[in-house]
Amino acid sequence: MIVVAVVVVIVVEVVVVVEVVGQGVAVVVVVVVVVVVVVVVVVVVVVVVVTVVLVVKRLQFREYQKPFLSAIIPELMNIGFSFFL
């Protein structure tokens, strides 16, 4: 859903910019928008992964949580990698 929303925003911006200023400037604007979107997505993923790692390390000290953690860690990794797809 996030990827679809980003693609829709980029396409709308391209159409608007091409109509207003022409093709040359539109290419620059699209490149800048794509770079900004990629940087924001990478920062969000890094923050989420660091937060999950810190929470998991904190929970590992509790004995009753260990089976739960061994089951949830692969799921959290799958969620993290799914942002790139």
Could you read off the pLDDT of 1-16 as tens digits, one per residue? 566 677 777 777 766 6
How many other C-beta atoms can be found within 10 angstroms of the C-beta atom of residue 31?
10
Range(s) of the domain holding residue 44 = 2-82
* Sign of the dihedral defined by the CA atoms of residues 52, 58, 60, 64, in that order: negative
* Number of folded domains that form the chain: 1
Tokens of 26: 């539109």
Mean pLDDT of the chain: 71
**Rounded distance, CA 29 to CA 33, Å?**
6
Q: What is the pTM of this model?
A: 0.45
**Rounded distance, CA 51 to CA 40, Å?**
17
